[in-house]
Structure 1
Amino acid sequence: MGAPAPRHRMVLAQARLELRLLVRNGESLVVTLGIPLGILVFFGFVDVLPTDGDPVAFLVPGVLAISAMATGLVALAIQTGFERKYGVLKRLGTSPLTRGSFVLAKALAMVVLLAVQVAATVAVAVLLLDWEPTGSLAVAVVATLVGGGVFAAIGLLMAGTLTAELTLALTNALFLVLLLVSGLAFDPDALPADVAAVGSLLPSGALGNVLRAALSSPATIDWSAAAVVVGWGVVATVAAVRSFRWDG
């Protein structure tokens, strides 16, 4: 038997496999593409949001954050949890692929899918809802991808330590809670002050604030919110790599 392939080649090969699995899963596509785009189109056409100014300009940053959350926290975590339950990951554990490489491959696949979501969101907003981008779209794209990586780490932490059924229940519940308290689909000023303050310290709310600043005119960078996002990412990544179990 020859020597194992270089680590980067193993990671890229596994990432390609993970991406194919995500794309083939119809339920995952509903969560990752259907829900965020549905929110954008519905609230873009139906003027019910308690916001001043262009509702689409308000919605786009929130929908990008929702996309990152739906892909990393829900779709990726649930898929991984059931792969672990059915022994797929246990067989991977006998290969030269380390836990860190596996987590990285999962995150890379998610980032590629999220890039497609970003392109779809911008296309729908511009072509269907007559949105005129302001600020820095490039900064917003980078922030969304980083945010997706953060949620992927949180999702993999749950999938690698909890049962598949518990991961399914908790990720969906957590997605709903974060959606409600982070002010992504509505003005956070409509929330009670204490709830809004807590929401801004969560990765979803902080990511939403980073994206709104990036897409404002003129574009700015909300460094405090960015630090919150990165902090969650570092903690979740270290915890996922250290605690992920191949079987459960």
Structure 2
Amino acid sequence: MVGIARSELVQVFRNRLVLVSGLVIPVAVSATFVYQHETLADQASLGYIAAIMLFIVMAFGLYTTAVTTLASRRQNLFLKRLRSTAVGDVDILIGLLLPLTAIALVQTVVILAVLAAVAGPPADVAVLAVAILVLTAMMIALALATTGLTNSPEHAQVTTLPISLLLIGVASWVGLTGTSELTTIKQLLPGGAVTELVMGAWNGGLPLTDALQLLLRSVGWVVVAVVAAGRFFRWEPRR
């Protein structure tokens, strides 16, 4: 597993497509949000800025790059060759996805730290950390599921777009309009509960019971994504 992860880390920095989608785009967009934080905070809140930047990093930096990477490894039969070794399936996937996950989490920490430095720290770091981890798990599972519907690395730019736009759209809707209206609908949408959890963790004033309810609904989407991953993920190309 460690050897696979080390090899994948090298490949990440050699692949221009992965570098652009996984590093350049999230950092550039997040920098814009940080630069405009005063204006955006007046329109919504600092919690919204934190949430939307988190979703951008996870959608492009983790989800899209993971699908691209897995589709590429499957297309060149690297996944098939790995399965013929003594390494188990779970260890193979961990090795392949660990570098991308680590990079996305480092990006998230750095970007949110910059926001905290210029605009003020979050009210509840622990809840924020839990929300980040739950979203990370959901995005990894969604990446595995989407890979099963993706024929090639180039095709990944198409297959990942609907979920990426949906999640960022939900985060924007919840962040800009709040949950005083259509509360249940917004929280049950994919990413809706996580968005509110991040906003509450950053802005403060989130009761423990509400946080637990949001966490439960967020974990529910992780379960859905894991089930979808088990259903759709393929180790070999379609014949």
- Partner letter of residue 208 of structure 1? T
**TM-score, length of structure 1 as denominator length:** 0.77
* Correspondent of 1:233 among 217, 222, 230: 222
Structure 1: 5+ residue stretches without partners: 1-10
Q: 2:135 & 2:219 partners in 1: Cα distance?
A: 8
Q: 1:110 & 1:200 partners in 2: Cα distance?
A: 28
Distance 1:181 1:143, change over 3 A: closer
Show the counterpart of 1:105.
95
Deviation for aligned residue 1:180: 1.9
Deviation for aligned residue 1:241: 4.1
Partner SS state of residue 109, structure 2: helix
The answer to which of 87-96 and 76-85 deviates more is 87-96
1:79 aligns with 2:75: no
Does the CA-based 8 Å contact 2:127-2:197 persist in structure 1? no
Show the counterpart of 1:7.
none
Q: 1:208 & 1:21 partners in 2: Cα distance?
A: 32
1:140 aligns with 2:125: no
Q: 2:71 & 2:91 partners in 1: Cα distance?
A: 17
* Correspondent of 2:197 among 210, 214, 219: 210
Deviation for aligned residue 1:110: 3.2
1:33 aligns with 2:20: no
Instruction: Give the superposed CA RMSD.
Output: 3.1
Deviation for aligned residue 1:198: 4.9
Deviation for aligned residue 1:100: 2.7
Deviation for aligned residue 1:115: 2.2
Distance 1:188 1:102, change over 3 A: farther
Does the CA-based 8 Å contact 1:110-1:149 persist in structure 2? no
Show the counterpart of 1:94.
84
Identity %, equivalent residues: 25
Does the CA-based 8 Å contact 2:68-2:156 persist in structure 1? yes
Higher relative helix content: 2
Show the counterpart of 1:5.
none
Show the counterpart of 2:141.
153
Q: 1:106 & 1:153 partners in 2: Cα distance?
A: 13
Q: 1:199 & 1:29 partners in 2: Cα distance?
A: 33
Deviation for aligned residue 1:116: 1.0
Q: 1:224 & 1:244 partners in 2: Cα distance?
A: 30
Q: 2:161 & 2:48 partners in 1: Cα distance?
A: 24
Q: 1:36 & 1:56 partners in 2: Cα distance?
A: 18
1:182 aligns with 2:171: yes
Q: 1:188 & 1:27 partners in 2: Cα distance?
A: 34
Does the CA-based 8 Å contact 2:21-2:61 persist in structure 1? yes
Deviation for aligned residue 1:97: 2.7
Q: 1:50 & 1:215 partners in 2: Cα distance?
A: 12
Deviation for aligned residue 1:32: 3.1
Q: 2:126 & 2:6 partners in 1: Cα distance?
A: 25
**TM-score, length of structure 2 as denominator length:** 0.79
Deviation for aligned residue 1:132: 0.9
Does the CA-based 8 Å contact 1:103-1:156 persist in structure 2? no
